[in-house]
Amino acid sequence: MLNNFLKKHGFLSFLTALLLLTSFIYKPVAFSAEPAELVIYSGRSEKFVKPVVEAFTKASGIKAVIHTSSSTSLLKKLRQEKKRTVADIFISNDAGNLQRGNKMGLFAPVTNKIASVISPQFRGKDNNWLGLSARARVLVVNTKAKDIDFIQSVFDMADPRLKGKIAITHSSSESFIAAVTVYMLSAGKQPTRKWLEGLKKNSKGRVYNKHSKIVKAVAKGIKRVGLVNHYYIYSYLNKHPNAPIRILIPDQKQVKDRPAGIAWNIAGAAITHYSKHKDLAMQFMAFVSSVEGQKIFAEVNREYPTRKDVPAAAMLPKADSFKAAPVSMYKLGEQRSATIDLIESVGMP
């Protein structure tokens, strides 16, 4: 039979028939593609982000890659990349940049179920970004200094008695811009301008690029008082428990032309508008806003959780034990340009 087939149709026809038959009998094994991984653009230092990202991967099995740069640089990158972006999540150390990115149309909303666990003060109005951890703007003071008992407010840092004795960050710091926005909205533009002018004189042009350096300068007695985010104080005390410093929670009394309550700022996250893995990104947002995720911010970073049902670390003052300025975080973005104009008009270093 085979000889007859070959004579009639030829060897090539036989070979073709054989291959077709084999393809039906031996179906190829379908190899699954590599599982998708999240790409995170992070404007926060990796040391603050990595613990919660690793916990997410352990809980979900979803791998994540972190690309770190400044929040403003990453926003520009997202805006330029548009549909070409590989980013699924954007993380910022500042509410102002989150709101700016939202206004640019760079983010996609999370579900109401996920967003609802975060206090409204700490998230975008349309749920396009969520604040995940809050930090209080406080004063670190040297306990051995005898000439600073009068300090009760951040505005006291402009007092002429403190000339050359204060420590602040440079004025382009996102934390500095955010705090000035809160003070401008709660105390007024002119009092805030006057305060900035006093800071400029008292700093004598010497500013710091890191909060950790401010805390160290105060601890060493180089400066008497510094304006910092709260967790840097506890981080320093964790390594140097006998350091002569303490936290001073400012502006707890209503005084004319001064802010009422401390300034909050948040670190937060958003799903990028052009994410190719929105389902995975939504899982990430659900995790970082869950009780488990929020506990990591509280215990590892010593930040304040943005969920009311998750307590801060034991060594921190309870969030409801002090007054905070009634400024919603999205306003830090809406007023950012006005704040920068004010800072630049004073010529802050």
Boundaries of every domain in the chain:
38-134+265-316, 136-263+338-346
* CA separation, residue 123 to residues 41, 102, 183, 331 (Å): 19, 11, 20, 11
Torsion angle of C-alpha atoms 206, 209, 212, 217, degrees rounded to 10 = -10
* CA separation, residue 236 to residues 100, 166, 248 (Å): 32, 18, 15
The phi and psi torsions of 345 (rounded to 5 degrees) equal: -65, -25
Q: Can you list the pairs that 235-244 forms with residues at least 24 positions away whose Cβ atoms lie under 8 Å?
A: 235/302, 236/212, 243/219, 244/142, 244/143, 244/144, 244/219
Give me the amino acid identity at 114.
I
Rg (the chain; Cα; Å): 27
Torsion angle of C-alpha atoms 151, 187, 208, 44, degrees rounded to 10 = 120
Which 3 state secondary structure label does DSSP give 47?
A: helix
Instruction: Find out whether 269 and 132 touch, Cβ atoms under 8 Å.
Output: yes
Q: Going residue by residue through the chain (349 aa), what tens digit of pLDDT does each one get?
A: 445 544 444 544 444 444 444 443 334 433 334 567 999 999 999 999 999 999 999 999 999 999 999 999 999 999 999 999 999 999 999 999 999 999 999 999 999 999 999 999 999 999 999 999 999 999 999 999 988 999 999 999 999 999 999 999 999 999 999 999 999 999 999 999 999 999 999 999 999 999 999 999 999 999 999 999 999 999 999 999 999 999 999 999 988 889 899 999 999 999 999 999 999 999 999 999 999 999 999 999 999 999 999 999 999 999 999 999 999 999 999 999 999 999 999 999 9
Instruction: Find out whether 261 and 186 touch, Cβ atoms under 8 Å.
Output: yes
Residue closest to 284 by CA, chosen among 6, 60, 43? 60
What single string gives the DSSP state of each residue in 224-292?
A: SEEEEEHHHHHHHHHH-TT-SEEEE----S--TTS-SSBEEEEEEEEEETT-S-HHHHHHHHHHHTSHH
Are 38-134+265-316 and 136-263+338-346 in the same CATH fold?
A: yes
Cα 172 to its chain centre, rounded Å, is 16
Residue ranges with strand state E in the chain? 38-42, 64-68, 89-92, 107-108, 130-142, 166-167, 225-229, 245-248, 263-272, 304-305
Please, what's the b/e burial string for 71-91 (b: 16 or more CB within 10 A of its CB; e: otherwise)? Answer: bbebbeebeeeeeebebbbbb
* CA separation, residue 65 to residues 36, 72, 86, 279, 286 (Å): 11, 19, 11, 16, 18
Q: Which of the four CATH numbers 3.30.465.10, 3.40.50.360, 3.40.190.10, 3.30.420.280 does domain 136-263+338-346 have?
A: 3.40.190.10
Chain position carrying tokens 């659900």: 286
Q: Can you list the pairs that 99-103 forms with residues at least 24 positions away whose Cβ atoms lie under 8 Å?
A: 99/124, 99/129, 99/329, 99/330, 99/331, 99/332, 99/333, 99/334, 99/336, 100/75, 100/333, 100/336, 101/75, 101/129, 101/270, 102/126, 102/128, 102/129, 102/270, 102/333, 103/333
Instruction: Find out whether 202 and 349 touch, Cβ atoms under 8 Å.
Output: no
What's the confidence (pLDDT) of residue 35?
61
What's the confidence (pLDDT) of residue 10?
52
Total length of the chain: 349
Half-sphere exposure of 274 (CA within 13 A, CB side): 15
Q: At what angle do helices 230-239 and 211-219 cross, to 10 degrees?
A: 60
How many other C-beta atoms can be found within 10 angstroms of the C-beta atom of residue 32? 5
Distance in angstroms (rounded) separating the CA atoms of residues 79 and 92: 15
The CATH class of the 38-134+265-316 domain is alpha beta
Which 3 state secondary structure label does DSSP give 140?
A: strand
What's the confidence (pLDDT) of residue 30?
38
